[in-house]
Amino acid sequence: MKRMKIYRGYIAAIAFGGVFIITLTSGGILDLRHLLRYAEEPIPAYVTHTNIPTHNPITNRGATLGRVLFYDKNMSFNNTSSCAKCHKQAEDFGDVEIISTGALGPPKRHTMRIGFAGMSSEVRAFWNERAVSLEEQATIPIHDGNEHGFSGMFGLPTFDSLLRKMEGIDYYPILFNFVYGDSAITEERMQLAIAQFVRSIYAFDTKYDTGRLTVNSELDDFPNFTAEENLGKRLFNTLPKDGGAGCFQCHVPPEFGMDPNSLNNGNIGIIHGPEKTDTGVTKAPSLRNLITPTGKELGPFMHDGKFKRLSQVLDHYISLDKKAPTPNMDPRLIGPENNIELDDTQKQAIIAFLKTLVSNRVFTDEKWASPFVNDSLEVIPLMNGVANVRNQHYALDITPNPAGDYISLGLEKTYYQLRIFNSNGAIVLQKTISGGDRIEVHALPDGYYFIQADQLGGQKHYSGKIIKL
Ligand code: HEC
Ligand code: HEC
């Protein structure tokens, strides 16, 4: 039997009736030469409320590292969960379960959606704003004994042990060096990168934004809206004393993030029962993306997941005047001048308006999706120190794989610059090829290799990975 090296994540050799069956599962590839566009994501001129600090702007390199940290299960002490276990892209980076199953112990509150978290003048984070910034927030769940578990308490490992663990994971020294110029892994660097990634999760591609671009003021009717959507927008933006719903005071357009001065909205329950109250809840996620592009409401809503449907949220605001004000309730919801009265048509109109705030791309774009495949990731390092924002990037269809003496790359028949890198990032083969060529790899020692084919005079970049046994 040929002696085999086992490469983490790629090969499972199963003894089956004396025959070895080799299954090749491919991991994710992150190509540092061709970055996805984070810094270039447009922000329209009418957007004025953001919490992007001058010391930590969104960069392609930083957000790329943040993306890896956000999705890496190595960030949890038992390698089972990551931020994405609770913050799911398909649910606007929130969770439709009241209590996320990612939790090791019961979290006190419902998971917040984090799409557009960077697009508000509120800089603090969490429902009760206990983190002073998204940077501070970024590693709190990692320290938390109920979340990622690096608390250093009750027999759980310390945060320092996580930093040591990361030093031993092949891609982290490469990535930290790529972002910060040296490979030191620190909590502060993790915070900066995660916060960049979290703030990068926005796209002004909604029906609302299409309309907003064509008018001078938020208050003008939008030409691309139906009469119902324009009615909903007017009610949202009008004070109750003038017959509206007054929502704009706290969920501030055009980003629909939280007004930093908001107090609680009268909903002070906790998930586990009525006996305790949670009066410090003064922040909600952006009201953009309350609904998926296919029209599914992303309830339950509020910190205690009390309301399944948006219609129930509206009923909550409408019924407030029939109740005594709760402690720490926002004065903008108290008193006869703030009574919200809406009939069914008006309620439906507000919900129709909220549906115009849905971004398609936040739910689907690759740049916010996991770079991992089968929990594994290979980073293609920079060869010449220059990273380009990626144009068009495709996976190679390499056969056979594991490779024999020759491989074919499944390319259309134009010319390409071919480079093959070994697992240390060194170039082991470089030449110009035509799409149909078979590539001789006979001379390469056993191991795994990254293959890069860049179309000559074109925009297309292909990459893939082979293993030689
Ligand atoms: C076990 C589920 C879970 C995991 C894992 C988790 N979160 Fe959260 N996240 C929550 C919950 C619950 C809240 C609200 C907590 C609160 O306010 O008390 C929250 C709130 C947040 C917020 C605040 C949003 C805002 O607008 O204020 C951000 C940002 C965030 N999480 C990012 C992350 C990141 C980054 C990670 C990984 C390092 C992570 N979360 C891991 C459940 C989770
Ligand atoms: C005085 C400030 C204030 C006003 C006015 C206000 N809200 Fe809120 N809203 C909040 C606060 C604070 C929360 C978080 C409360 C919680 O989680 O229990 C919230 C939560 C929400 C949520 C839940 C978001 C989520 O992701 O779970 C929705 C939806 C919402 N508000 C819609 C509205 C609408 C529609 C109006 C107008 C009828 C409105 N709000 C008026 C302060 C306000």
pLDDT score at 464: 83
- pLDDT for position 450: 83
Whether 18 has a pLDDT exceeding 60, the answer reads no
- Over 60: is that where the pLDDT of 389 sits? yes
Query: Do the beta carbons of residue 335 and residue 298 sit within 8 Å?
Result: no
Distance CA 41, CA 35 (A): 13
Ligand (nearest to CA of 144): 1
Q: Ligand 2 pocket, 306 CB below 6 A?
A: no
Q: Using CA atoms, how far apart are residues 94 and 103, in angstroms rounded to an integer?
A: 14
Give residues with Cβ within 8 angstroms of 390, minimum separation 6.
Answer: 31, 34, 35, 36, 37, 461
* CA proximity to 289, closest of 201, 371, 223: 201
Give yes or no for residue 301 CB within 6 A of ligand 2: yes
pLDDT (average), residues 439-460? 86
Quick check: 171 pLDDT over 80?
Answer: yes
Question: Residue 127: what pLDDT?
Answer: 97
Does 329 sit in the ligand 2 pocket, CB within 6 Å? Answer: no
> CB count, 10 Å around CB of 336?
8
pLDDT score for 107:
60
For ligand 1, atom 38: residue with the closest CA: 83
pLDDT one-digit tens code per residue, 271-298: 877 668 899 999 999 999 999 999 999 9
Nearest in space to 249 (alpha carbons), one of 317, 198, 328? 317
What the block records as the tokens of 440 is 């001789």
Burial of 8 from C-beta contacts in 10 A (0-12 / 13-18 / 19+): exposed
- Ligand 1 atom index nearest CA of 283: 27
Give the CB-side neighbour count of residue 433, counting CA atoms within 13 A.
23
Pocket of ligand 1 (CB under 6 A): 70, 81, 83, 85-87, 100, 102-103, 107-109, 111-112, 114, 117, 125-128, 134, 137-138, 141-142, 147, 194, 198, 283, 285
User: What's the whole-number mean pLDDT along residues 370-395?
Assistant: 79
Tokens of 4: 């085999």
Is pLDDT at 20 greater than 50 in this prediction? no
Q: What is the pLDDT of residue 386?
A: 64
CA–centroid distance, residue 71 to ligand 1 (Å):
13
At 224-245, the pLDDT tens digits run: 999 999 999 999 999 999 999 9
**What is the dihedral angle through the alpha carbons of 320, 326, 330, 332, rounded to the nearest 10 degrees?**
30
- Ligand 2 centroid – CA 14 distance (Å): 55
User: How far away, in angstroms, is 407 Cα from ligand 2 center?
Assistant: 58
pLDDT band at 103 (very low <50, low <70, confident <90, very high): low
What is the structure's pLDDT at 203? 97
Q: Band of the pLDDT at 10, cuts 50, 70, 90?
A: very low
**449 — pLDDT class (breaks 50, 70, 90):** confident
Ligand 2 atom with least separation from CA of 269:
18
Query: Is 271 a pocket residue for ligand 2 (Cβ < 6 Å)?
Result: no
Give me the mean pLDDT over the 73-88 stretch: 95
Please list, in sequence order, all residues whose beta carbon lies within 8 angstroms of the beta carbon of residue 156, skipping any fewer than 6 positions away.
Answer: 77, 145, 149, 150
Residue 76 · residue 65 · CB < 8 Å? no
User: Which amino acid residue places its CA nearest to atom 36 of ligand 2?
Assistant: 247
Residue % of the chain over a pLDDT of 70: 90
Lowest pLDDT segment from 183-192, 214-223, 301-310, 399-408: 399-408
Does pLDDT of 12 surpass 50? no
Cα-based distances in Å from 206 to 90, 212, 254 = 16, 10, 11
Cα–Cα distances (Å) from 16 to 6, 20, 142, 450, 469, in that order, read 17, 6, 41, 30, 19
User: Measuring CA to CA, how many Å separate 76 from each of 102, 183, 257?
Assistant: 10, 21, 30
**CB-based contacts of 296: which residues, under 8 Å, 6+ apart?**
none
- The pLDDT value recorded for residue 145 is 85
Q: So what's the pLDDT on residue 22?
A: 40
Instruction: Report the atom number in ligand 2 closest to the C-alpha of 300.
Output: 27
Nearest-Å Rg of the Cα atoms of the chain is 26
At residue 46, the pLDDT reads: 96
**What is the C-alpha to C-alpha distance for residues 388 and 399, in angstroms, rounded to an integer?**
28
> CA 344 to CA 254: how far, in whole Å?
25
Q: How far is the CA of 264 from the centre of ligand 2 (A)?
A: 9
Q: What is the spatial distance between Cα 430 and Cα 428, in angstroms, rounded to a whole number? A: 7
CA-nearest residue for atom 33, ligand 1, is: 83
Q: For residues 301 and 267, is the Cβ–Cβ distance under 8 A?
A: no
Q: Is the pLDDT of residue 395 over 90?
A: no
Q: Nearest 5°: phi and psi at 122?
A: -70, 120
> Looking at residue 283, what is its pLDDT?
98
CA of 329 from ligand 1 middle (Å) equals 24
* Range 409-423 average pLDDT: 87
**CA 442 – CA 80 distance, rounded (Å):** 39
246 lines ligand 2 (CB under 6 A): yes
| Contact assessment for residue 438 and residue 408, using Cβ atoms and an 8 Å cutoff | yes
The CA distance from 359 to 150, in Å, is 34
Quick check: CB of 84 below 6 Å from ligand 2? no
**Residue-wise pLDDT tens digits, 46-67:** 999 999 999 999 999 999 999 9
pLDDT at 382: 81
User: For residue 349, what pLDDT band results from cuts at 50, 70 and 90?
Assistant: very high
What is the average per-residue pLDDT within 157-171? Answer: 96
d(CA 330, CA 318): 15
Q: b/e for 272-290, b at 16 or more Cβ within 10 A?
A: eeeeeebebbbbbbbbbbb
Q: Provide the pLDDT confidence category of residue 151 given band limits of 50, 70 and 90.
A: very high
**Distance (Å, whole) CA 281 – CA 115:** 19
